[in-house]
Amino acid sequence: MANVPGGPSTRAIHGLPHAKADRDPVVTPIYQSSTFAAGIAATDEVLYTRYGNNPNQTVLATKLAALEQADRAIFLASGMGATALAHLAVLRPGDHLLASEWIYGGTHKLLTEEFGKLGIDVTFVTPDNPRNWRHEVRKNTRGIFVETPTNPIMRVLDLEPIADLCQQQGLVLLVDSTFASPVNFRALEHGADVVIHSATKYLNGHSDVIGGVVAGSEEIVEEVRRLMQVWGQAPDPHAAWLVERGLKTLAIRVARHNENGLAFATWAAEQGAVDVVHYPGLPEHPDHAVASEQLEGFGGMVGLVLKGGPAAAETVLRKLRLATHAPSLGGVETLVSEPRFTSHAHMSVEERDAVGIPDGFIRVSLGIEDVEDIIADFAAALHALS
């Protein structure tokens, strides 16, 4: 399936191009059916929506594989479902996993609260230097998990040295690349074995579906599908249909998110009330060089630290009219959140400080509105501080 021809827009719209028969619907119909008639005494697998073989699920999976240039992909009920099953597909009791310290809070919970019960040991590694990984590899290490770009300070990891280490040591490299979407970064092309997305974010793009994706080799994705059946992580056909619809505009949406992200970050960096702007497209970002080399766009996520701390953040959040205060990201509408109450609520103030998320940090998910209007909204809110 890898090496599907065409650019990202074509692959997102068509998957594997094929000629249609007369009177075929142009759009995949919604097969809102839990089960399908089966041949009597037939030996092939029955169609049953929890098995992941409903046509809405399989058509979408083909497009997702084409987008990632993966052998195979699968759509699941949530990003967390995708993360959990991707790991369970490669780890066994007694195995050891190295995980980046800079990861989504839900994933952190999964690794710290659940994996121990399954006999899987996890060591967290600060990924700011590729050498840090090698020191922690043990005899029973099976895999490395990272997120790039990271939430919410938008660090961009250089995957190549980590992928080299995995190759040398026979480890599986799993990458959550939700923040980039396959338009800005395709981790498999940089040495990852498995790529994970929360489809809830950019892939669907309209803040109306929860879903997840795992893409990689035939063998690993087949194991994820087997686990999906028994752990009950299959998505509803309507959710699959909505994500297939969202995907058709993924490339143009992400192009606009990239433009808005850069314009907003550049503006924010010039504002007196703003202390730090975290955006990999700015030359002062610590990973600007890696991001320029590896990403095809810097994305729509911007982190702001206000000089006035948490009180200033509260004032600004109360004043915004166009940007909505809500968790999540990657939709057409601009959302703002404070990581201390959402994704990083599990950490102490000191722990957050140490990773660059002081109280007063605002995460902005730039939507695809006209950027002048988003900037005007923030300008009015910052004005309330003076």
Ligand X SMILES: *Cc1c(COP(=O)(O)O)cnc(C)c1O
Distance in Å, CB of 210 to ligand X, minimum: 5
CB 45 to ligand X: min, Å: 27
- Compute φ and ψ for 146, nearest 5 degrees: -135, 165
Candidate list 15, 149, 212, 216; residue touching ligand X; CB under 6 A: 212
**Under a CB-based contact definition with an 8 Å cutoff, are residues 235 and 75 in contact?**
yes
Among residues 31, 104, 202, 279, the one annotated as catalytic is 104
Q: Closer to ligand X by CB, 4 or 261: give it.
A: 261
Segment interacting with ligand X (CB under 6 A) among 111-119, 197-205, 225-233, 269-277: 197-205
Residue closer to ligand X (CB basis): 111 or 312:
111
57-65, 196-204, 229-237, 376-384 -> range binding ligand X (CB under 6 A)? 196-204
Looking up tokens 């021809």 gives 5
Least CB distance to ligand X at residue 73 (A): 16
The catalytically annotated residue of 11, 72, 176, 225 is 176
C-alpha to C-alpha distance for 366 and 256, rounded to whole angstroms: 9
Count helices and strands in the chain by DSSP H and E runs: 14, 12
Residue 104 appears among annotated catalytic residues: yes
CB of 106 or CB of 286, closer to ligand X: 106
Under rule CB under 6 A, how many of the chain's residues touch ligand X? 16
CA–CA separation, 30 vs 169, rounded Å? 45
Nearest residue by C-beta to ligand X?
79
Residue 146: CB minimum distance to ligand X, A: 11
DSSP symbols for 70-87: -SEEEEES-HHHHHHHHH
- In the complex, the smallest distance separating the C-beta of residue 271 from ligand X, rounded to whole angstroms, is 26
Q: Is 50 a catalytic residue?
A: yes
Q: Can 279 be counted among the known catalytic residues? A: no
Q: Using the 8-state DSSP alphabet, how is residue 118 labeled?
A: G
d(CA 263, CA 128) in angstroms, rounded, equals 27
- From residue 71 to residue 110, the character string flagging contacts with ligand X as x (rule: CB under 6 A) and all else as - is -------xxx--x--------------------x-xx---
Ramachandran bin of 133, using left for φ above 0, alpha for ψ from -120 to 50, beta for the remaining angles: alpha
Would you say 210 or 313 has its CB closer to ligand X?
Answer: 210
Rule CB under 6 A: choose which of 200, 260, 334, 365 binds ligand X.
Answer: 200
Do 121 and 95 meet the contact criterion of CB atoms below 8 Å apart?
A: yes
Between CA 183 and CA 68 the distance in angstroms is: 9
* 178 contacts ligand X (rule: CB under 6 A): yes
Site string for ligand X, 147-166 (x = CB under 6 A): x---x---------------
What character string, x for contact with ligand X (CB under 6 A) and - otherwise, covers 289-328? ----------------------------------------
- We find the least distance from the C-beta atom of residue 79 to ligand X, in angstroms, to be 2
Task: Provide the minimum distance between the beta carbon of 201 and ligand X in the complex, in angstroms, as a whole number.
Answer: 6
**Residue closer to ligand X (CB basis): 335 or 371:** 335
Q: Give residues with Cβ within 8 angstroms of 144, minimum separation 6.
A: 97, 98, 99, 133, 162, 165, 166, 171, 172, 173, 174
Distances, alpha carbon 17 to alpha carbons 4, 243, 253, 378, in Å:
9, 18, 22, 43
Local structure of residue 116 (DSSP, 8 states): G
176 is catalytic: yes
Annotated catalytic residue, options 48, 50, 226, 319: 50
Nearer to ligand X, 156 or 381 (CB): 156
Kindly state whether residue 198 participates in binding ligand X, applying the rule CB under 6 A.
Answer: yes
DSSP string computed for 164-219: HHHHHHTPEEEEE-TTTHHHH--GGGGT-SEEEEETTTTTT-SS----EEEEE-HH
Query: Which of 210, 312, 362, 381 contacts ligand X by CB under 6 A?
Result: 210
In this structure, what token pair is assigned to residue 149? Answer: 């770009």
Strand pairing class (172-176; 194-198): parallel
CA torsion sign for 167, 179, 254, 1 is: positive
Question: Which chain residues interact with ligand X by CB under 6 A?
Answer: 78-80, 83, 104, 106-107, 147, 151, 176, 178, 198, 200-201, 210, 212
- Give the active site residues: 50, 104, 176, 201
